[in-house]
Structure 1
Amino acid sequence: MKKAAAMMLALAMILSLTACGGGKKETAAGTETQNAYGRILEQGYMTVGIDPTIENIIFTEAGEEEPEGFIVDIVRGFAAELGVEVKWEILEWSAMLTAVNTGKVDFIAANMNMRLDREAEIDFSDPWLVDSAMACVAKDSAYQSFEDLKVPGTKFGIASGSVYESIIKEQFPEAEIVTLPLGTWQESLASGVIDVSLDDSIVFAGPMSSNSNIRLLPDRGDSYLYGFAFASGDKSVEVFNLYLTKLKAFGSYAELYKKWMGFEWEPNTLGTAY
């Protein structure tokens, strides 16, 4: 109880200090823009940029408007802590960084790779998950490994703005890159528009249990961390980080992880990365 009380007191202090700034922050260009936290409290809702195309992580059931999933439950819990509602804004990956830095959304809640070049444009939250790249092909495909994908002309499907464009160019220099609309990679594999989808492994977890016409290659790419994205210099990321720490420290994160991933959460030695 003492730990919980201390955490709640710390959260209240950060919220108070952030609000005392009048909801403004000074940007590098010398102009003032409203802090997302101040804007959220003033409006009574937060606008969150998403890509709802990943089963179990963040997705929308047919005929439904509201998304569901692991990310959704994390965001809704954050909104509940602040006493506000959530409005979801579906974005193409290529538009996400601009959307958060121009105030179109208050932050991005997605499986966004915490790359250093992105950190130059936005501020990442603490990591909420660790993952690695995998490749998905049609069940009857001849491809058996990453090495096979190096055959000239192999068609890789990616979303616009995906980090995998640069990875494919570096690791599969003779590949053909096909940019796909969000959530269409399964149809593109089935129709032969692409030969392979290279993406975060969590993207494939749901489809592998529901689509018998696809399979994963056994290889995995390098591991990396996912973070939520806030506008550069926005102090509200500190508020979210405290909320995320609280989730992990008091068991709620583990419950959500088990609910959506289907297995137990095993923290790393720091207890923060996933």
Structure 2
Amino acid sequence: MSARTVLSLVTAVTALTLVTTGCTSTKTAGSGGTEITLVTEGKLTTCTHLPYEPFQFRKGSEVVGFDVDIVDLVAKELKVTQEVVDTPFEGIQTGEDLNAGKCDLAAAGMTITPVREENLDFSGPYFDATQALIAKKGSPYTSLASLKGKKLGVQQGTTGETYAKKNGAGVETVQFEDVALLLTAVKTGQVDAAVNDNGVLFEYVRKNADLAVTTEFETGEKYGIGVRSGNTALRKEIDKVIKAARSDGRYDALYQKWFPAAPKK
């Protein structure tokens, strides 16, 4: 093998490494001097799955929402800006996007579960959630039992889907890729009702008076922000920022901004 061939191989391998792992840049956290490694210099890259209003959704050319604002607090502490990447939820919850260097963290209204904890590391809980049922206002669907023999919309890969299949004996579940398609199906009568996280459903009925949240199921879920397994430095930084925001009132201000119609937390 000639020296030129060896050099070409080295160059090719180097280029492939850069493509598959992305360029990294070490940043220093705002406190404690901890070094945080980011996939793109000057940016905190967030993987999410749109739309999931009011946690993350497009407003004009921007992606906004409660999760976006929470991560912005972390980005500010790191003295970088947030960049949001829209990606299928499956790649988020399996940890594939984080492992591939697609993003630094995942903020997608994502419930902490034992299965997901095998694939990625979570911050401490930042939001309490539960499952709820949405249907046409005045409909008789106020429980899973009342939907026996009826069609119930569920979002693919979510805890709502798991709950409905486990507890909805005799109910026909219809799977949708995202929450926008799910809620449109309820509104247009493709399904009789749908199950999803209460925060999303309360916001939707606030803007769609023909629908109602007919019941909630106390599932005791908590959302966490995901990072690649072993990325302790970034996980601790997220926890530190959220703890500070809860203490100084910034968290409460964001909650009131994005959940004006929700029951008191």
Q: With structure 1 as the length reference, what TM-score do the two structures score? A: 0.77
Residue in 2 aligned with 1:156? 152
Q: Does 1:95 align with 2:91?
A: yes
After superposition, residues 255-270 of structure 1 pair within 5 angstroms as 255-262=253-260
Q: Does 1:207 align with 2:226?
A: no
Q: Which amino acid aligns with 1:92?
A: P
In 1: Cα distance, 2:119 partner to 2:111 partner: 13
In 1: Cα distance, 2:191 partner to 2:100 partner: 34
CA gap of 1:101–1:254, structure 2 versus 1, over 3 A, is: same
CA gap of 1:263–1:210, structure 2 versus 1, over 3 A, is: closer
Residue in 2 aligned with 1:83? 79
Q: Which amino acid aligns with 1:38?
A: T
In 2: Cα distance, 1:220 partner to 1:175 partner: 16
- Contact kept, 8 Å, 1:57 with 1:71, in 2: the verdict is yes
- Contact kept, 8 Å, 2:44 with 2:75, in 1: the verdict is yes
In 1: Cα distance, 2:213 partner to 2:132 partner: 7
Residue in 2 aligned with 1:269? none
Q: Which amino acid aligns with 2:152?
A: F
Q: Tell me the SS of whatever aligns to 1:221.
A: strand
Residue in 2 aligned with 1:5? none
Shift of the alpha carbon at 1:137?
1.0
Residue in 2 aligned with 1:242? 240
Residue in 1 aligned with 2:188? 191
Q: Does 1:229 align with 2:226?
A: yes
Q: Tell me the SS of whatever aligns to 2:195.
A: strand
CA gap of 1:230–1:197, structure 2 versus 1, over 3 A, is: same
After superposition, residues 48-59 of structure 1 pair within 5 angstroms as 48-59=46-57
Shift of the alpha carbon at 1:49?
1.1
1:123 to 121, 127, 130: 121
CA gap of 1:68–1:146, structure 2 versus 1, over 3 A, is: same
Counting matched residue pairs gives 233
Q: Which amino acid aligns with 1:115?
A: T
Q: Give unmatched runs, 5+ long, in structure 1.
A: 1-9, 20-36, 267-273
In 2: Cα distance, 1:177 partner to 1:265 partner: 28
CA gap of 1:47–1:206, structure 2 versus 1, over 3 A, is: same
- Give the aligned CA root-mean-square deviation in angstroms: 2.3
In 2: Cα distance, 1:249 partner to 1:265 partner: 21
In 1: Cα distance, 2:62 partner to 2:192 partner: 32
Residue in 2 aligned with 1:107? 105
Q: Tell me the SS of whatever aligns to 1:223.
A: strand
Q: Tell me the SS of whatever aligns to 1:212.
A: coil
In 2: Cα distance, 1:264 partner to 1:201 partner: 8
2:169 to 169, 173, 191: 173
Shift of the alpha carbon at 1:181?
3.2
In 2: Cα distance, 1:65 partner to 1:238 partner: 31
In 1: Cα distance, 2:195 partner to 2:65 partner: 22
In 2: Cα distance, 1:101 partner to 1:138 partner: 41
Q: With structure 2 as the length reference, what TM-score do the two structures score? A: 0.80
Q: Deviations over 1:58-93 (max 9, x none)?
A: 2222xx121122211111121111111211111222
- Contact kept, 8 Å, 2:133 with 2:142, in 1: the verdict is no
Q: Deviations over 1:125-158 (max 9, x none)?
A: 0111111110001225332333212x13x22222
Q: Give unmatched runs, 5+ long, in structure 2.
A: 1-28
Residue in 2 aligned with 1:74? 70
Shift of the alpha carbon at 1:195?
1.8
Residue in 2 aligned with 1:7? none
Shift of the alpha carbon at 1:255?
1.7
Larger radius of gyration: 2
Residue in 2 aligned with 1:253? 251
- Contact kept, 8 Å, 2:47 with 2:103, in 1: the verdict is yes
In 1: Cα distance, 2:142 partner to 2:262 partner: 30
